[in-house]
A and B are shown apart, each in its own frame.
Chain A
């Protein structure tokens, strides 16, 4: 029997100073995108639902202004 270590919550790295997500902060938002340009899930980012939503809308806004890429299909 192997005991399952209680999953460590990956700390919302977000609390690294950011209280409001700015859609113009491309460098920050990039960290929430996969290399294909998809938005990373909450499971991965470890954000709260509110933060995740804020990040997601920020990314969508940034995409509209060509600051961030739209997801690109699998193979290149």
Chain B
């Protein structure tokens, strides 16, 4: 089991209120594989530093997760297939948490 943080940039044309619930359905992959979701943080709409897929802004969300490597990989794959997802990034985070 490892800590991961997954950042997702979503299409700005989505309704911000629907973001959290729809992300949650994807997180079932994690839960089913025995991992747990620690936090889903929706930052909301933000200006992008450069255009991604002709979009000038995006809805950012950061997901903190504790699970097996295979599970995040699957999550990342499924998110990437989604057309409303502009970009994703998965990072290990051994910081802050390790001591606390």
Contacts and interface: CB of A to CB of B under 8 A. Distances in A.
B58 interface: yes
Interface in B47-71: 48-50, 52, 58, 60, 62
Contacts of A24: 7, 62
Contact of A66 (B9, B95, B96): B9
B87 A66 contact: yes
Q: Classify the secondary structure of B's interface with A.
A: strand
Contacts of B9: 65-66
Contacts, number: 29
B14 interface: no
B91 interface: yes
Interface of B: 7, 9, 48-50, 52, 58, 60, 62, 87, 89, 91, 95-96
A63 interface: yes
A64 B96 contact: no
20 contacts: A20-B96, A22-B95, A23-B91, A24-B62, A61-B89, A63-B49, A65-B7, A65-B9, A66-B9, A66-B48, A66-B49, A66-B50, A66-B52, A66-B58, A66-B87, A67-B49, A68-B49, A69-B49, A69-B50, A70-B50
